[in-house]
Amino acid sequence: MHSRSVFLATVLLALTSPTKPIEIRANSVTLPLAKKLHTSGGAQYLVDQDRARVRTLIKRGLNIASQQNRRGGAVPLGESQAVVYIAQVNFGSSTTEYNLIVDTGSSNTWVGAGQPWTPDSSTTSDNEAVSVSYGSGQMEGTLYTGPVSLGSCITVEEQGFVLAEFVQGFQGYNGVLGIGPENLTLGTILENPTRTIPTITQNLYQFGVIGQALVGLFFEPSSTNTAEGELSFGAPNPARYIGELTYYPVTGTSPASRYWGINQSITYGSTVILSYTAGIVDTGTTLIHLASNAFLEYQAATGAQQDLPAPAGTGLLYLTTEQYSQLQNLDFHISGDTYTLIPNAQIWPRALNAAIGGTSDRVYLIFSNLDTPSGEGLDFVNGMCFLERYYSVYDSDQNRVGFASTEYSSSIVN
Residues carrying an active site annotation: 103, 282
Q: Rounded CA gap, 84 and 384, in Å?
A: 8
Q: Rounded CA gap, 129 and 131, in Å?
A: 7
Q: What are phi and psi of 5, to 5 degrees?
A: -65, -20
By C-alpha distance, which of 202, 218, 185, 181 is closest to 85?
218
